[in-house]
Amino acid sequence: RRVHGGFKMGQTVARAQAPALDAIRPGSWAFPGFHSSTATWTVPAAEGKTLLSKLADSVRNNHLQHFHLRELDMQANSAKFYFYTPTIKWLDIVEIKCASQNAEQAVFDVRSFSSSFLPASLPLAPLLTFIFVIVPFGDGGQNLLHIKALSKHLVAQGVRLDEHFTFVSRTTPKRLMK
């Protein structure tokens, strides 16, 4: 199978620049609410202990296409995943953290957001994004779909999960809200 050189180069540039875009998070500076979604997941306590490792294993085994594991902290019961759009490699970040756990259940806060107006595959994107930080952009519901994809995958693995969206991007089409 032949891989187009530009695609591979863009992927390399995107992965190299992703940590910088994640650290500065220019997409969250202006126009809040246009490119992020948040949810809570409630699961039985026993499943709460293995939830993040199940997701991490699925990402490592490429069962969740376009997701990449960035961090997994079992002590803090938190994880961070990068999602690169298939072609141009915009970077969305998904953070999952256990907010509370008791004998019956565990509650996870899930946040997905777009890192920048510029794709991570664009050379010098972390620097150029300072110039373009005032450009409004929306996610078109993609961050909602990232959260839904992860929860759907967990449910398919047998996890009993109750999902409640606490905030949905203002640019999410109504058809995705179902």
Q: pLDDT per residue over 96-123, tens digit each?
A: 999 999 999 999 999 999 999 899 999 9
Are 176 and 147 in contact by the 8 Å Cβ rule? The answer is: no
Q: Which whole number is the average pLDDT over 34-54?
A: 95
Mean of pLDDT values over 14-43 = 89
Q: Is the pLDDT of residue 11 over 90?
A: no
CB 18 within 8 A of CB 94: no
Kindly indicate the confidence band of residue 8, based on its pLDDT and cuts at 50, 70 and 90.
low
Extended strands (E) in the chain = 36-44, 67-73, 78-84, 91-101, 105-114, 162-167
Of the candidates 149, 150, 143, the one whose C-alpha atom is nearest the C-alpha of residue 55 is 150
pTM: 0.91
Q: Residue 161 and residue 55: Cα distance in Å, rounded?
A: 13
125 CB neighbour count, 10 Å cutoff: 25
Instruction: Grade residue 138 by pLDDT with cuts at 50, 70 and 90.
Output: confident
Q: What is the mean pLDDT of residues 154-165?
A: 96
Least trusted range by pLDDT, from 6-10, 37-41, 59-63: 6-10
Res 2 pLDDT > 60:
no
Q: How large is the average pLDDT for residues 119-146?
A: 90
Q: Which amino acid is at 136?
A: P
Question: How large a percentage of the chain has pLDDT more than 90?
Answer: 72
